[in-house]
Amino acid sequence: MIIRKKPKLSGNVFIGDDVIVHDTAWIGDLVQIGKGSKIQPFAFIPNFVVIGNNCFVGPHVCFTNDKYPPSGGRGWASTQVKDGAVIGANATILPGIIIGKNAVVGAGSVVTKDVEPNSTVAGNPAKPIG
């Protein structure tokens, strides 16, 4: 099932206009997803992730939010995906990362550092490639 929703605040999750979230995606509390974004199957989006407008999160993408698991919330950090960013399938995004506007994260990448706007990163650890 695919969910298309108008802006709403429910369970501390904000989902903008024309967002597509596949029903097998897992979304935690205090998450924001901007208008026109697409979340593919089996994406894991825990608490404190902010996804901008017109972003693409590929299948099996895993955001993490705990710098020192299991910290019980003491080590949690917010991750931000800026407008227009694309994250390829099976990428892992570590806590506290900022993925810049219109950036591209290659499939299978492990993002350990912020990604500059309009750049492309790939690999483990993810490094600029374009």
> Domain 2-128 classified CATH 2.160.10.10?
yes
Q: Where are the domains of the chain?
A: 2-128
Q: What is the pLDDT, as a whole number, of residue 9?
A: 42
Convert the pLDDT of each residue in 2-41 to its tens digit: 555 444 444 688 888 899 999 889 998 889 999 999 999 9
Residue 125 reports pLDDT greater than 90? yes
Convert the pLDDT of each residue in 72-101 to its tens digit: 767 788 999 999 999 999 999 999 999 999
Distance CA 55, CA 93 (A): 15
Q: What is the pLDDT, as a whole number, of residue 6?
A: 43
DSSP secondary structure, 78-107, as one string: -EEE-TT-EE-TT-EE-TT-EEPTT-EE-T
Residue 128 reports pLDDT greater than 90? yes
14 vs 108, higher pLDDT: 108
Contacting residues for 129 by C-beta, under 8 A, at least 6 apart:
106, 120, 121, 122, 123
First to last CA, the chain: 35
Q: What is the pLDDT, as a whole number, of residue 3?
A: 53
Smallest Cα–Cα separation from 126: which of 101, 118, 99, 102? 99
Q: What is the pLDDT, as a whole number, of residue 74?
A: 74
Q: What is the pLDDT, as a whole number, of residue 1?
A: 43
Q: What is the pLDDT, as a whole number, of residue 12?
A: 82
